[in-house]
A and B are shown apart, each in its own frame.
Chain A
Amino acid sequence: MSGSLILSIVTFIYGLAGFLYICAWIFRKQIFGRIATWVALVGLSGNTAGILVRWVESYQLGIGHAPFSNLYESLVFFALVIVLIYLIIERKIQNRIIGAFTIPIACLVMAYASLKPGITSAIQPLIPALKSNWLIAHVITCFIGYAAFALAFGVSAMYLMKKGRDDEPITWTKIVNPLILFVFAALFSRVLFISNWLVATLIAIPICLGFYAIVYLVRNLPAESKAKLLDRFPDTRILDELGYQLILLGFLFLSIGIITGAVWANSAWGRYWGWDPKETWSLITWFVYATLLHARLMRGWHGKRIAFLSMIGFAAVLFTYFGVNLLPGLHSYGSF
C-alpha cells in the first residue's frame, strides 16, 4: 500500500475520531469517548506508518530523502503532531472534550493536504538547497511549535465558550472582533481555497454571518442544555493554564525552528537572516506570542484577554504557513 493511500485513509479515521469525540461531548456517553481515543490512536499509528512508508518509497525511487520536503508532507506531519500532543494532554488531564475541538483540526489538515488541487502528494526529488540535515531539524521543530499553537487555539476557543459573556466584558474586543473575523475569513479563503480576492471577500461575509449565527444560537440556548454542554468542560482555571502551557511549548519550538532555519540559511546562502517574507512572518508570530507572554507574566493578563491573543497568534501562524505564498520571496519550497 502506498504512503499517500494510507494517509488518505487516516484522514477518514481522524474524521471518525473527531465525530466520536463530539458525540461523547454532546450525548454525554463515556463509551463514545473511550472508542474515540482508540480510533485516534489507530489514526496516529496510521499517520506515522504513512510517513515512514513514504520515506521508504522515496529510497525505492532512488531520490531518498526524509519526508519533510514539501507542503503535502509538512501538512501530514502537522496533523501527526497535533494528534500526538492532544493524546498526551488527554492522558494527563483525563478529559476528552478537548478532543472534540482539536481532532477535527487534524482531520481538516489531512483533508486539505489530500483534496486541495495543486498540492501534490507525489514524492519529488530534492532541489540542492533542501539537501541538508538542517531540513529535518527545521521542519520537525517548526511543526511541533505550530501544532502546539493550534492546540492552544482550540483550548482558547473552549475557554471563551465556557466563560461566555458572563465575566469581564472587554469593550475593545467587541469592536475589534467582527472586523478581525472578517479580515481573517477573507484572507484565509483567499489563501487556502480561492485565487481571487473579490470572491474571497464575498465568501467571507457568509462565513462571518454563520459564525455569529452560531454564537447567537448558543447564547439563546435554554440555560439547562447550555449548562449540560459546558459543565463537563475542564475547569476554566485548567483551560487557562493548559492553553498557556501549550503556548510556552509552542514558543520554545518556534524559537528553535527559527534558529535551525537561520543556521541552515547560513550554511546554504551565507546569511542567517535575510528578511524574506517567511522569515519575517515567523518573526512577527514570535513577536505576537512574546507580547502574550509579557502581558501575562508582567501585567497579569489572564483568561479572556490571553485567549484572544492566543487566537491572533494562531492567525499569524497560519499566515506564516500559507499566506506567505502570496508574497514574493525565497521560501517557495513549501508552496503550491
Chain B
Amino acid sequence: MTKQAINSDPFRKIWDFFSSVKLTVVLLLTLALTSIIGTLIPQNESPQAYLKAFGAFLYRFFDVLGFFDLYHSWWFQALMLLLALNVLVCSIDRLSATWRIIFPERPKFNLSRFRRLEPKEEFTKNGPAEALQKPYHAIISRKFRYCRVEKTDSGYAIFGEKGRWTRIGVYIVHLSIICMLVGGVIGSILGFEGFVNLAPGEGSQQIQLRNRNQVLKLDFTIRCDDFKVRFYPSGAPEEFRSSLSIIEGDEVVKTRDIIVNDPLRYKGISIYQASYGQLPARQQDIQLPDEFTLVFTSKTTGKIYRTKAKIGQKIEIGEGLGNFIVNEFKTSYNFRGQDLGVTFFGTLHQSDGAEVDVVLPIQFPSFDKMGPIFNKMRKDDVVISISDIKAEPAEIRYYTGLQVSSDPGVWVVYTGFILIIAGCFVTFFMSHRQICVCVDILESGKKCRIMITGSANKNKLGNEQKLKSIAQILSDESLDLG
C-alpha cells in the first residue's frame, strides 16, 4: 500500500523521469540527430533564398518546424533545457545517495570482502609476522594516502586507500555542462552581437544587430582613424588593421589598433576586426586624361565616326546628325538599382532641333543603343559611345567591417570549460583505489602467509597491474630482515 502511494506521488514520478540515464541517452542521440538537419540546411538565410531552394510547400513545412534557425527554435532549446534538467536531477539524486559513502568520517574496510576479491597475490615468508608490519606499513602509506593497521583473528591486516575524492569527478563534469548552458543563456539575454562598417575618418555610435533588423545605440562613438590592408603576392589578404578611437562625449578615451584575433575591449564591449570591403571611388581620386575618343555610329549609313574630344567641346557629328557636347562625368551612376561606375553625361542637339541628354557609362559602351527606348524625344539615328579611356582610381579605398559584441555570460562559460577538462581528467584517469595486505601467522609464528588484494572503481586492468607490482615489492627478500 505505502509503496504504491509513493509511486503515484507525481513529484516523485517527475523526479524519477528526470533522474534516468535512459533519458540522457535518448536526449543525447536526439540532439545529435536533429543537429545534423541544421548542418544540411544553411541557417538564417533570406526567405526568398529558401523559397527558391525548396519550393512553397517544403518552405512552409520547414519554416513551421523552425529548420531555418534550428538551433534557436523552441523545440531545440527545449531539448537542451531537458538535458540540463536531466543532468542536474541525476547529479543531485546520485550525489545525495552516495555523499555518505564518498565522504565517511572514517573509511570502513570489510576484511571478508577483501578476502573474497579476485585476483589476489599470495606468497609466504619465513620469520615472525610482526617484523613485517613496520616496513609494510611504511610501503603502503607511501603509496596510499590513507593507511591503517587492524588486528585480525589470524594476524593483522594493513588497509590503504586513495583517490576517494575522485568519485566526485563526474559531478564536476555535470556541473560544467550546467555552467556552459547557463552562460549561454546569460549571453543571449544580456548580451548582443552587432556590426558596423566604417570608412577611414568615419565614426559611429550606432551598430546594426545581427540576424535582427535592429539598430543599437552605444554609450560611446567608435571612430576609425585609419584602415590598411596588406596582401600576399598571391592576392590573399595578409593582414588588415584598423586604428580605432573610442570617443565619449567629445573626449577620446581610448585609441588602439586592432587586427583579426586581437580585439579592443571597452566597458564590457568588444570590438573585433571582422572584415573589410571596397568603398566606391571618390571624384577627386579619379584621374581622367584630358582627351578621350567619341564614337558615333550612324544608323542609316552604318558609318562610324571617331573624334577626339574634351569636356565642354562641341563636336559636329556629320551626315547632318547634329552636334554633341560632353558636359561632365561622375564616379557612379545608379541605373535601376545598379551602380554602373564612372559615367559621362552629354547633350545631343538633334537634327530636328531637340536637345536630349545622353548617358555614357565607360564600362558599358553599347549602353546608348537603348537611349531611344528610354527617351521618346531621342531620334533613333545615331549611337554614341566613348572609348580609349580608363578611369581607375589612384588608390582603392577600403572600409573596415567591425564586429561589436558584448557577452556577460562568457566567463561563466569559460568556468564551465575549465571544469569540464578537470572533471573529465579526474573521472577518466584517476580512480578510487583500496588495497588490503593480510598477514596471517603460520606454524606458530615461524612463518607467515601474505595475501594482497585490492579494488578500484575504474580501470580494473590497470589496478591489477599495480597490485602485482606492489606484491613484487612486498615479497622482496631484503624485507625479511627488517
Are A and B a genuine interacting pair, yes or no?
Answer: yes
Judge whether B39 and A270 touch: CB under 8 Å.
no
* Given A251-B424, A299-B21, A131 and B260 contact (CB-CB distance below 8 Å): yes
Query: Which A residues are in CB contact (< 8 Å) with B404?
Result: 270
Judge whether A299 and B261 touch: CB under 8 Å.
no
The proximity string for B residues 458-472 relative to A, scoring 1 for CB distances below 8 Å and 0 otherwise, is 011100000000000
A129 CA to B273 CA in the complex, in Å? 10
Judge whether B270 and A270 touch: CB under 8 Å.
yes
The proximity string for B residues 376-405 relative to A, scoring 1 for CB distances below 8 Å and 0 otherwise, is 000000000000000000000000000111
Interface size on A (CB < 8 Å)? 49
Judge whether A128 and B240 touch: CB under 8 Å.
yes
The proximity string for A residues 271-315 relative to B, scoring 1 for CB distances below 8 Å and 0 otherwise, is 111010100110110011011001100110000000000000000
Judge whether A252 and B421 touch: CB under 8 Å.
yes
Query: Which B residues are in CB contact (< 8 Å) with A251?
Result: 424, 428
Judge whether A295 and B25 touch: CB under 8 Å.
yes
Judge whether B272 and A259 touch: CB under 8 Å.
no
Contact of B237 among A127, A263, A268 (CB under 8 A): A127
Q: Which of A198-244 contact B (CB under 8 A)?
A: 237-238, 241
A131 CA to B407 CA in the complex, in Å? 23
Query: Which B residues are in CB contact (< 8 Å) with A136?
Result: none
Contact of A287 among B29, B38, B410 (CB under 8 A): B29
A189 CA to B197 CA in the complex, in Å? 43
* Given A128-B237, A267-B263, A248 and B429 contact (CB-CB distance below 8 Å): yes
Quick check: is B42 within 8 A (CB to CB) of the other chain? Answer: yes
* Given A270-B193, A290-B28, A129 and B261 contact (CB-CB distance below 8 Å): yes
A248 CA to B429 CA in the complex, in Å? 8
Among B58-66, B155-163, B412-420, the stretch that binds chain A is B412-420
A247 nearest CB neighbor, chain B only: B428
Quick check: is B425 within 8 A (CB to CB) of the other chain? Answer: yes
A294 CA to B24 CA in the complex, in Å? 8
A283 CA to B33 CA in the complex, in Å? 11
Quick check: is B236 within 8 A (CB to CB) of the other chain? Answer: yes
* Given A128-B240, A245-B459, A294-B24, A255 and B421 contact (CB-CB distance below 8 Å): yes
A328 CA to B39 CA in the complex, in Å? 8
Query: Which B residues are in CB contact (< 8 Å) with A270?
Result: 193, 263, 270, 272, 274, 403-405, 407
Q: How far is the CB of A310 from chain B (nearest CB, A)?
A: 15
Quick check: is A269 within 8 A (CB to CB) of the other chain? Answer: yes
The proximity string for B residues 269-282 relative to A, scoring 1 for CB distances below 8 Å and 0 otherwise, is 01011100000000
Contact of A275 among B38, B238, B405 (CB under 8 A): B38
Quick check: is B14 within 8 A (CB to CB) of the other chain? Answer: no
A336 CA to B313 CA in the complex, in Å? 56
Q: Which of A50-78 contact B (CB under 8 A)?
A: 63
Q: How far is the CB of A187 from chain B (nearest CB, A)?
A: 12
Q: How far is the CB of B121 from chain A (nearest CB, A)?
A: 19
B420 nearest CB neighbor, chain A only: A255
Query: Which A residues are in CB contact (< 8 Å) with B405?
Result: 270-271
Quick check: is A266 within 8 A (CB to CB) of the other chain? Answer: yes
Query: Which B residues are in CB contact (< 8 Å) with A252?
Result: 421, 424-425, 428-429
Q: Which of A131, A264, A316 has the most CB of B within 10 A?
A: A131
Judge whether B25 and A291 touch: CB under 8 Å.
yes
Query: Which A residues are in CB contact (< 8 Å) with B21?
Result: 294, 298-299
A263 CA to B42 CA in the complex, in Å? 24
Q: How far is the CB of A175 from chain B (nearest CB, A)?
A: 17
A125 CA to B193 CA in the complex, in Å? 30
Query: Which B residues are in CB contact (< 8 Å) with A237?
Result: 461
Contact of B403 among A134, A238, A269, A295 (CB under 8 A): A269
A328 nearest CB neighbor, chain B only: B42
Judge whether B425 and A125 touch: CB under 8 Å.
no
* Given A128-B260, A268-B260, A284 and B35 contact (CB-CB distance below 8 Å): yes
A245 CA to B420 CA in the complex, in Å? 18
B170 nearest CB neighbor, chain A only: A297
Query: Which A residues are in CB contact (< 8 Å) with B22?
Result: 299
A235 nearest CB neighbor, chain B only: B461
A128 CA to B400 CA in the complex, in Å? 14
Judge whether B28 and A269 touch: CB under 8 Å.
no
Query: Which A residues are in CB contact (< 8 Å) with B98?
Result: none
Quick check: is B232 within 8 A (CB to CB) of the other chain? Answer: yes
Contact of B38 among A249, A256, A268, A280 (CB under 8 A): A280
B413 nearest CB neighbor, chain A only: A272
B234 nearest CB neighbor, chain A only: A125
Query: Which A residues are in CB contact (< 8 Å) with B263?
Result: 267, 270
Quick check: is B32 within 8 A (CB to CB) of the other chain? Answer: yes
Quick check: is A44 within 8 A (CB to CB) of the other chain? Answer: no
Query: Which A residues are in CB contact (< 8 Å) with B414?
Result: 263
27 A–B pairs (Cβ distance < 8 Å), ordered by A:
A125-B238, A128-B239, A131-B239, A131-B261, A237-B461, A241-B459, A241-B460, A241-B461, A245-B459, A255-B421, A259-B420, A262-B413, A263-B414, A268-B260, A269-B272, A270-B193, A270-B272, A270-B404, A271-B407, A275-B43, A280-B35, A280-B39, A280-B71, A284-B35, A291-B29, A291-B32, A294-B24
B residues with a Cβ closer than 8 A to A are 21-22, 24-25, 28-29, 31-32, 35-36, 38-40, 42-43, 71, 184, 193, 232, 234, 236-240, 259-263, 270, 272-274, 403-405, 407, 410, 413-414, 417, 420-421, 424-425, 428-429, 459-461
Per CB-CB distance, the 5 closest pairs between chain A and chain B, nearest first, are A128-B260, A287-B32, A298-B21, A248-B428, A277-B39
A residues with a Cβ closer than 8 A to B are 63, 125, 127-129, 131-132, 134, 237-238, 241, 245, 248-249, 251-252, 255-256, 259, 262-264, 266-273, 275, 277, 280-281, 283-284, 287-288, 290-291, 294-295, 298-299, 316, 324, 327-329
What 11 additional pairs, Cβ within 8 angstroms, besides A128-B237, A241-B459, A284-B36?
A128-B240, A131-B260, A134-B261, A252-B424, A256-B421, A267-B263, A275-B71, A280-B39, A287-B28, A298-B24, A316-B32
